[in-house]
Amino acid sequence: MKFLEKLQKVQRKNRSLLCVGLDTDPAKLPSHLRTSKGAVVQFNRSIIEATSDLVCAYKLNLAFYESLGERGWRILKETLSAIPQHVITIGDGKRGDIGNTAEQYARALYDDLGFDAATVSPYMGYDSVEPFIRLDSKCAFVLALTSNEGSNDFQRLNIGGRPLYERIVQAAVKWNTKKNLGLVIGATHPKELQPIRKLAPTLPILIPGIGKQGGDLESAVRFGTDKNGRLAIINASRSVLYASTGKDFAAAARNEALQLRDQIQKYRDKFFS
């Protein structure tokens, strides 16, 4: 199945643009789990079971697993196996290297782990992105205007009368010949979302920064979606994962995800009904 087809199908099925980031920090697990063998997998599975009917995607930040060493790779695989097949999985590693190295990164994320999509840095140009978009069943989300404060250091530099992030968006549109390339635009940049969406009307946009980072949810829905109120993937991580540090963590995560999903849908109804 083509990536866009799978994304649109799960967004319709779950009536959701919500993505939950499984950026699990062992130090932040509920105290009753910390001494358990396989605590991270147990935590992730509980979160997935509690929220999989409310989301369109899960985004796994690879750093939280790579930092665990050899067992981190096993935890990644076990976590991915717990995610229902119809839900999008995004490997958030922000990879970016010369072509032959990028091929190995793509093989690791797509062939070995089985992710549907990956986040990719476009700094080294097209050949560093191309291995991630060879198959139309896979998608590369290119970093354009990220949610962190340091995004202002380079991403807004004036390049020929346009900010660098707009040049990246224009390149992504040009490279999107198989309709499997997306953008990463932080919800912390609400004013920029509308012009970016006009430049890239048919690209899916991964929008991090909701929740703890203080991103604007209403603007993310209004300007991050396409003309039909679709093709945005709005990510929340810590606000869902750590909604409670007690034994009710899974129920609390579900409640937080449900509120976010419903608030997103409320804005979709407001702007696109």
The pairing of beta strand 162-163 with beta strand 158-159: antiparallel
7 in Cβ contact with 48 (< 8 Å): no
88 in Cβ contact with 233 (< 8 Å): yes
Task: For residue 177, give Cα distances in angstroms to 130, 135, 171, 181, 197.
Answer: 11, 11, 11, 9, 18
Catalytic annotation, pick one of 9, 94, 178, 179: 94
CA atoms within 13 A on the CB side of 165: 21
Query: 164-183: string of b/e by CB count within 10 Å (b at 16+)?
Result: bbbbbbebbeebbebebbbb
Q: Is 266 a catalytic residue?
A: no
DSSP code of residue 185: E
Say how far apart CA 83 and CA 45 lie, in whole Å: 8
Q: Based on C-alpha coordinates, what's the Rg of the chain?
A: 18
Q: Which residues are catalytic?
A: 94
